[in-house]
Amino acid sequence: MTPKTGTLYGIGVGPGDPELITLKALKVLQKIPHIFASCSSKNSYSLALSIVRCHLNGAGIEHLPFPMTRDPQVLQEAWEKNAIRVLEVLDAGSDAAFVTLGDPLTYSTFGYLLKTLKRLQPGVRVVTIPGITSYSAAAALTHTPLTEGEESFSLVSGALGAARLREVADKSDNIVMLKTYRNFGEIYRTLDELDLLDRAVCISRCGLDGETVVENLRDLKAESMPYLSMIIIKKKGKGY
Ligand SMILES: C[S@@+](CC[C@H](N)C(=O)[O-])C[C@H]1O[C@@H](n2cnc3c(N)ncnc32)[C@H](O)[C@@H]1O
């Protein structure tokens, strides 16, 4: 008889507060024997894992190193290696979970893992459990409606600078920019140029130690931000 292969659960653990996790994710995490968490190739710290650690019941934990590079070949090789390791565990008959910050299909390493797994083994069983995104939690924290009525909304990344912000600034009523930390200076100057500084709020480390909300971006003199920072821009203003 062919042994049963396991299922991989891609679990969004929310943005920081361990209570912002779904019941579905909690139930899986409390019974799953094996948990994968991505980490940088330099150390084994995983924020996603630290968020759910208080919910775990003795699951085995394995880190999957994810090099901090943009070199597509290095990344591809790393994800292939990681996917092969996940498949080994599933093929041995064990279920496993991959925990990831916020939602697993929103700017997440899980998306790369999923694609690689499907390519290597098209029949692989994967269940994705959505998570509360960082920007939903930040909107809740700051009482900022992300869209109302017929308004539009764009989610962009600041990882490569302010170009994406410029692309959507004309077209969208509301914009969320994630990954603002490295290019904050350029993003700030672009918001100033587009006359949007007074329409923006900056949220760092939402739900975590050191949580900060800056309602007036002009107060942000520094050109650097914590890694976990984002900007919510409402072109029509908050309305209160
Ligand atoms: C790789 S993306 C992960 C997004 C995540 N999957 C989600 O659903 O929100 C990392 C970026 O998400 C944002 N982020 C994630 N958690 C955050 C938090 N607790 N506070 C503020 N920003 C956060 C930051 O912009 C950070 O640079």
My answer on whether 41 and 124 are in the same domain is: yes
Ligand 1: residue of 50, 128, 178 to mutate (most ligand atoms within 8 A of CB) is: 178
Residue 18 shares a structural domain with residue 109: yes
Region at 179 (left for phi over 0; alpha for psi -120 to 50; beta for the rest):
left
Binding-site residues, ligand 1, Cβ < 6 A:
15-16, 101-103, 106-108, 133-134, 138, 178-181, 203-208, 227-230
Asked whether residue 23 is domain-assigned, the answer is yes
Separation of CA 208 and ligand 1 centre (Å): 12
Ligand 1: distance of its center to the CA of 131 in Å? 12
What confidence tens digit (pLDDT) does each residue in 56-66 have? 999 999 999 98
Helix (H, G, I), strand (E, B) or coil at 13: coil
Degrees, nearest 5: CA angle 41-101-120: 65
C-alpha of residue 203 to centroid of ligand 1, in Å? 10
- Nearest CA residue ID for atom 27, ligand 1: 179
Within a domain: 240: no
**90 and 36 within one domain:** yes
- Residue 223 pLDDT class (50, 70, 90 cuts): low
- Which among 135, 118, 159 has a CA at the least distance from the CA of 234? 135
In a domain, 93, yes or no: yes
Instruction: Give the C-alpha separation, 53 to 55, whole Å.
Output: 5
What is the value of pTM for the model shown? 0.95
Task: Record the tokens describing residue 21, joined without a space.
Answer: 């996790």
Categorize the per-residue pLDDT at 115 as very low, low, confident or very high, splitting at 50, 70 and 90.
very high
Q: Quote the number of domains for the chain.
A: 2
pLDDT, average across residues 140-149: 96
Q: Which residues of 160-196 are buried (b: 16+ CB within 10 A; e: fewer)?
A: eebebbeebbeebbbbbbbbbbebbebbbebbeebeb
Confirm if 96 and 34 have CB atoms less than 8 A apart. yes
140 pLDDT band, cuts 50/70/90, is: very high
Residue 161 counted as domain residue: yes
Q: Which of 129, 158, 182 is the last residue of a domain?
A: 129
- Residue 105's domain comprises 7-129
The span from the CA of 170 to the CA of 167, in Å, is: 7
